[in-house]
Every structure is written in C-alpha cells, then in structure tokens.
Amino acid sequence: MIKISAYAELRFVQGGESITLSEIVPLLEQIREHGSIAAAAEQIGLSYRHAWGRLRAMEMLLGGTLIAKSRGRGSVLSELGEKLLWAHRLSSDRLHNVLGTLSLEVSQELNKLLLPTGEGARIHASHGYAVDALVNALQSRDTEVDLRYRDSGEAVAALARGECDLAGFHLPRGEFRESCAAVFRPLLDDEIHVLIHLTRRKQGLFLAQGNPKGVTSLQDMSRTDMRFVNRQRGSGTRMLLDLLLRRSGVDPDQVHSQASTELTHSAIAAFVASGMADLGFGVEPAARHFGLEFIPIVDEDYFFACERAKLDSEPLKTILSILRSGSFKAVVDALAGYDGERCGTIVEVSEGLTRTN
C-alpha cells in the first residue's frame, strides 16, 4: 500500500537569496528551550559555527535580529524570532487538514489500481485529535482511508446519503445536549444507525501564558479590550459556544461581529499564541501544543455514526478492533483532556442524542 505525505513550506526570498523556514525553525526551538546557541546546535547535530552562520544568513535576509541576550537567561528569541516560530506553526496547522486530505485522496486513487481488492475506510468527520489517531492506526495496518474533515452536520448528512462508512460528530454533555443534537435527529434512525463512542473531551478557553488579560470566564468575552478568534459559522463548536454565551448573559452577535474565523482548533491556538488574539475556544490538546493556558468550560462526547448492518463487515470490524484495543485507548488517554475509557462502545442513537450529565 502506497502512503503519501504532503507538507507546506514557507520560503523567504530577498534579491537572489532564499531560505526556507524549516531550515531555521529547529534551531530557534532549541534556543528557546536551552537559552544557548551552543546547546541548541548540539541538540540538532550542528557545529556552533554552522548554527551561527544559519542564524546570520536569516537575519541578513530579513533585516532584523532573531536572538537577544537576557541577563540570567542567556540567549533568548527576539520578537522576530518568536514570530518565525509562530509562522511555522500557523502554516502547518492551518494546512494540516487540507494537505492530509489531499494526500489521502491521491494515495486512495493509486491504491485502487495497485490493491483493487482492498477494503477502504471512508470517514467524514468533524476535526478531532482522536480521529487523527484512528487514521494513523488504520494506515499502520495498511488499510486504505478516505478521510474528509467537515462540519459535524455535513458529515452525518454524508452518512445518510451513503457517501461514507463513519460520520464523526461531537455533542456537549449536560443541558445543551439535545439542542445541539437537533441537527442530527432527521438524519439518524435508531433502526438503521448506531453510534460508536470515540472519546470524551474538554472544550474551553485558550489564553496566553500567564493570562495577562485576567480572563476567568466566558463573560470576559464581552469586554471591549478582548480580541477573539472564532470557529467558522456552521461548526459544532461555534453552535455550542453560542449557547454557552447566552447562558452567561453575553450576546453572541456582539462577540462574533469583531472576531476573525479559523477552521481548526490548532489554527485558533496558533493565533492566540502569536499575540494576534487574546482569546480562543477549542479542545485542550491544541492549547497545550502551543503552550497556552486553558480554562475548561464544557465536557463533550465524540461519536462516530454508522449503519448497524455493517458492524460485522469490513472496514468497520477492523475499526472496532482498533478502538477497543488497550494500545489505542492509551493513545487517546494521553491527549490532554481526552478520556478513552468508553472507546469503541456501541451506543443507541436515541441514547446518544439525549441529555447526559
């Protein structure tokens, strides 16, 4: 089975000179961690002279300094150095889903020719870190995967049309469960469909390290000094956030009118980490990945919907085997704010869409 990977690369060009961001980012990351150019160079296998030359070449190209000296801390990144790390993270996270889907589509078409009898898994799902983990596990077993990240409602609608084997969506636990589930009720039938529990996870507020704006709750989102980066209209996370804001006495339209929008939890976190936004809302692993503080607001369940009649056939048999394995549950549990205890549990549609405390 052919596996294909696609990566984004930012290249800086000035006159006849050019340097890719990936040439400098590993060095900058190590300088930030160790506070020393020499120690950073050793960590990535470069001589001090080579590391210093790489830094100087980028500084000359950009016309600014990447490193500053700090008493008691050695070498630290300048504002420009930090911004380069942000640019690298933003490009990777914003394009991750697009390039991942492209890679899967191309590999799928090639593998149809090379492995014409193979059984592939068609997954349409709201973005989630546990979903990524499942795809990795399937690929490690040489199982073809056609993964398409889309809004929860669009994913379940695709299942109803027969366009996928699994539709991934998430619902909050507690009082807003049934309100958020309303979009799925016309599309799912207890007789035809069942739900497979993937994980329980936490959504909450993303804040810069040290919480400089003193945020304590959702009510702070109404403050005029607060820059908020939002999820796109139609996403399950945005629908949930609107309900939470109204409960807190905050007008969602007031918050959304000034907010920029992003398509993934990681892109939201990248904006807050860069200082371009003060506040975001999403799942905890994205916040931890970017070194942000996280205030948990709500627990939710992530489900896959599928056809009941296909549970004993491929590829669902393989998927259930993976989800119920101890090794996969350990991967899910290792994600910040995720709980894989019920991973692979079959849940009736009526039960899954009903309020859960």
Give the residue range(s) of CATH 1.10.10.10 domains in the chain: 11-86
Q: Is the pTM of this model over 0.85?
A: no
Question: Taking the domain 11-86, which CATH number applies?
Answer: 1.10.10.10
Mean pLDDT for all residues in the chain: 89
Q: Is the pLDDT of residue 12 over 70?
A: yes
Q: Could you read off the pLDDT of 156-181 as tens digits, one per residue?
A: 999 999 999 999 999 999 999 999 99
Give the residue range(s) of CATH 3.40.190.290 domains in the chain: 119-357
How many angstroms separate the Cα of 175 from the Cα of each of 48, 193, 243? Answer: 58, 24, 10
Nearest C-alpha neighbor of 177 from the set 300, 296, 349, 281? 300
Kindly write down the DSSP assignment for every residue of 75-90, as one continuous string.
EEE-HHHHHHHHHHHH
Report how far residue 30's alpha carbon sits from residue 70's, in angstroms, rounded to the nearest whole number. Answer: 16
Range in 62-71, 101-110, 308-317 the model is least confident about = 101-110
Report how far residue 343's alpha carbon sits from residue 333's, in angstroms, rounded to the nearest whole number. Answer: 10
Residue 331 or 101, more confident: 331
Give the pLDDT of residue 116: 52
Question: Taking the CA of residue 181 as centre, how many other CA atoms within 13 Å lie in the half-sphere pointing to its CB?
Answer: 24
What is the CATH T-level fold of the domain 119-357, as seen in this structure? D-Maltodextrin-Binding Protein; domain 2 (3.40.190)
Report how far residue 248's alpha carbon sits from residue 70's, in angstroms, rounded to the nearest whole number. Answer: 43
CB atoms within 10 A of CB 243: 16
